[in-house]
Chains A and B, each alone.
Chain A
């Protein structure tokens, strides 16, 4: 070995071992790093790995359907296809995806802006696929499906959407569903994960939400980096809710709606044997389907600010003074108190009570009348007398016995208002004032503090007609149904049998018979207030009671200015027209209550509607058990 060479070799040996040592140190650092990641922090990364790959999906069972008593579908579900997308990373990728989607779908300009807007909003979160737009045609669905290769992260999903074939006809009773709001989420956290869920708002959709919804299931799915699900890991099955069958007959309901068309008011038709509501209609109405797809501001403003308040269900929430229809209650209270029905009262058109002048609706007076004629001709003075003799508390007791002043339904399926039956104690408590004779007199003709809803008036009539302590039913039954049937529009399930008869009312049958007879005279005697509204069919005579409720008196100035009649006043000051009735007079089957706001005279406006409704119910034989499954055309 030469010196230079040996020096250099010596250097090399030292230096190469130094480098080797350094390399060893660096590799030890790498090993330490791997130890840290894979051993010390393993659990943390294992969790994050699972978070990456496992996504929770909530399985919403198709909502329970609602049928009418004959199996006509009133609220069902329809499939819609929606475009879902996991937005690609980065501005660049999103723009490219946007262009491709536009090219494939060639959306209309409104859809285009929608697409653009949603794409912009969903730029960041890559957690779940975002719902983009609704695909309106099968053509679009197939277009997207056939281009799936160039559209990673894009999928078409089916979602069921609520649909109301009956539209306006049953809007109030059924209610509607609409998208979950932040209020709903604050009440139920689970809803936060159901961004596309629609929740029942009013009517049966709200009151039966839990029944219709069923139980939401969960599905843990493994997804890949493009948000596409690869396989199912764990599934907790969804429990479908129940189908409901209502007591309402769609045909009658539709007919009622047509009778009330153009009016503001409500009509309720009850089965006097079972208490089932056969028709329950409030006018004007609205299309519940609008709420499902989402209302625009203008439509919402129009609906909510309209003076005729189409969103309010007048049939169960509209409170009206019952007016002269209440006279049957006073008559029953008097008879039960031992009043002699042949006792006559003279009507001279006006009398003084508690320092005030009380008029009969007939200015010239009725002369001397017994009770039957007083009901038939609706003499106010006669009932002032009866009421003053009875005192308000006895009248109130009878009113309550007939179903006024309290919720009418036995199944609590309807969100109704109770109405008001005043007593002395009530006035003391609420107004801290004593009860005056004039108050009693007002109650005697169904005015003053007294308030009742149309469904209460119908129940009152049904109880008088049947003599039984009926309750109003809206739901005939509910039943389970497979989820598949629920979406294919199969026939309704079996809802079970009828129930036992209601107990008899605690009222003498003779008193009831007397009042029924007097109500028949209202329609069928030549002196009756509703003599022009009879059915003119001997096998199906109607009995009833008219009511014309003053909204505002005609003032002295107006009288001077020539306003003689109610029709001359502006619409909003005109009288409410009321009628309650039942038919047939012998062995009643149907009871009805009609309220037409500002309709004027009860006999001319409300009574014919009630008559037509009763006739139609009879013609259709609604309660005969002739049940054929039908469909709304």
Chain B
């Protein structure tokens, strides 16, 4: 592309606050909201069941978080898109700062992904995915698709730094997810096709190197136990085996709410967090899991379809990439609990218990709604130095 194509655009069709409110209230994205409601309900059911049919200790905090998440979602949706565009690099910068804190603050535990302030915990690697999407969307929004070396280098750095820090924690699953999210975002945003092809080939070649030089021994054990979980039914394969038993024994229609013996008798490890889907699968069966999968698919399709109608590049990329984040939650978590992927510790919001993932999901949904509200807005570039 040459410089001739460059035409400066001004911001157009930016709705005022009242219009944004009306846009959301009068033509609400009813399918998206219904889908979210169903997911939240499923999550609450699981949290209630995992505690053996008790509101404590997980159900009520989970409900409160969901409520707070919904409010946050609406708030994020109603903010002027230009604010998000202007400060699109800030979240990533903040997450990197927090990840650096985790990297350099000594910790007792071998695995530490959490920032603790009082009784609150925060896992910066979770929102880092969204922050990365925002940063990349902004970058490509400003670049206007002119290609060149910068369009490989900058996204490369933006992806590699958080991925590296998360891998150092060590949290291989989330690090891989960050790389995937970053690559897909860059691809959607208009990365040159040649770079895409070259990158794909390079990535395929890197797998053996990763195995031998990057993975920790305990991570390799996990992968091996994933490949043959029966070899060590009481050790590393125990979680997975119990999880598969729970999912499989659910059958077509499930064992009924509060009726899953794997859940109620505590054979399932982590059954309210990373393995929450298993609880759902055991008690609601194939019909339930298929419905759950369909709901996630609905959100994804809705987001991608929305992206087709958005008139600004930032919003388009944001919407489509956010659906990819949602896809990854569903795909990695369910594959992990059903034994098609290694157990990597990846949550499934809003089913899993855990504030950070829930927060991330609702901010994602809020941004999706924000894109929906501003779908007719045209946005000019913000950063001239990158041009």
Contacts and interface: CB of A to CB of B under 8 A. Distances in A.
Interface stretch (B85-93, B166-174, B210-218, B327-335): B327-335
A35 B238 contact: no
A120 to B, nearest CB: 16
Given A19-B324, A30-B334, A38 B251 contact: yes
Interface in B110-125: none
Contact of B290 (A34, A126, A224, A230): A34
Given A29-B340, A30-B340, A19 B6 contact: no
B330 A223 contact: no
Contacts of B262: 49, 52-53
Interface string A193-235: 0000000000000000000000000000011111000100000
B252 interface: yes
Interface of B: 1, 5-7, 9, 144-146, 184, 187-190, 234-235, 238, 242, 244-252, 261-262, 265-267, 281, 285-286, 289-290, 293, 296-297, 300-301, 304, 307-308, 313, 316-317, 320, 323-324, 327, 330-331, 334-335, 338-340
Interface centre among A15, A41, A126 (most CB of B within 10 A): A15
Contacts of A7: 145
A110 interface: no
A26 B304 CA distance: 16
A572 interface: no
B334 A19 contact: no
Nearest to B2: A4
Interface of A: 2-5, 7-9, 11-13, 15-17, 19-20, 23-24, 26-27, 29-31, 33-35, 37-39, 41-42, 44-46, 48-50, 52-53, 89-90, 124, 126, 222-226, 230
Contact of A39 (B261, B267, B286, B335): B286
Given A30-B293, A226-B266, 12 more contacts: A9-B316, A19-B324, A23-B323, A27-B330, A30-B334, A38-B252, A39-B251, A45-B244, A46-B248, A52-B245, A53-B267, A90-B235
Contacts, number: 159
Given A12-B190, A19-B188, A222-B265, A124 B248 contact: no
B188 A12 contact: yes
Contacts of A222: 261, 265
A320 B187 CA distance: 105
B251 A12 contact: no
A38 B261 contact: no
Q: Is the interface of B mostly helix, strand, loop or mixed?
A: helix
A30 B294 CA distance: 11
B293 A34 contact: yes
The 5 closest A-B pairs by CB, nearest first: A45-B248, A49-B249, A38-B286, A224-B265, A4-B5
Contacts of B144: 4-5, 8
Contact of B297 (A19, A24, A89, A226): A24
Nearest to A30: B334
Contact of B190 (A8, A19, A30, A39): A8
A35 B287 CA distance: 10
Contacts of B246: 45, 49
A77 to B, nearest CB: 33
A225 B270 CA distance: 13
Contact of B338 (A16, A17, A24, A30): A30
Contacts of B188: 12, 15-16, 19
Nearest to A8: B145
A89 B238 contact: yes
A627 B283 CA distance: 66
B331 A30 contact: yes
A30 B300 contact: no
12 contacts: A2-B9, A8-B190, A12-B313, A16-B308, A29-B335, A31-B293, A33-B340, A34-B293, A37-B338, A38-B286, A42-B249, A222-B265
Contacts of A17: 304
Contact of B187 (A3, A15, A26, A27): A15
Contacts of A30: 293, 330-331, 334-335, 338, 340
A20 B301 contact: yes
Contact of B247 (A3, A4, A37): A37
Contact of B248 (A8, A37, A126, A224): A37
Contacts of A13: 308
B313 A8 contact: yes
B331 A26 contact: yes
Nearest to B316: A12
Nearest to B296: A27
A606 B261 CA distance: 73
B284 to A, nearest CB: 10
Contacts of A90: 235
Contacts of A31: 290, 293
A415 to B, nearest CB: 47
Contact of A12 (B238, B245, B247, B317): B317
B6 A16 contact: no
Given A12-B316, A52-B245, A34 B265 contact: no
Given A13-B308, A52-B267, A53-B261, A44 B338 contact: no
A27 B307 contact: no
B5 A2 contact: yes
A333 B143 CA distance: 132
A52 B265 contact: yes
A42 B304 CA distance: 35
B304 A20 contact: yes
A44 B248 contact: yes
B261 A52 contact: yes
A89 B251 CA distance: 29
Contacts of B320: 12, 16, 19
A35 B324 CA distance: 24
Nearest to A124: B234
Contact of A34 (B1, B296, B334): B334
Contacts of A41: 248
Nearest to B334: A30
A52 B262 CA distance: 8
Contact of A37 (B235, B244, B304): B244
A444 B312 CA distance: 129
Contacts of B289: 34, 38
Contacts of B247: 34, 37-38, 45
A554 B285 CA distance: 94
A226 B340 CA distance: 28
A34 B338 CA distance: 7
A395 B117 CA distance: 106
B349 to A, nearest CB: 17
Contacts of B248: 37-38, 41-42, 44-46, 48-49
A80 to B, nearest CB: 30
Contacts of A29: 335, 340
B251 A224 contact: no
Nearest to A90: B235
A426 B317 CA distance: 110
Contact of A38 (B146, B187, B281): B281
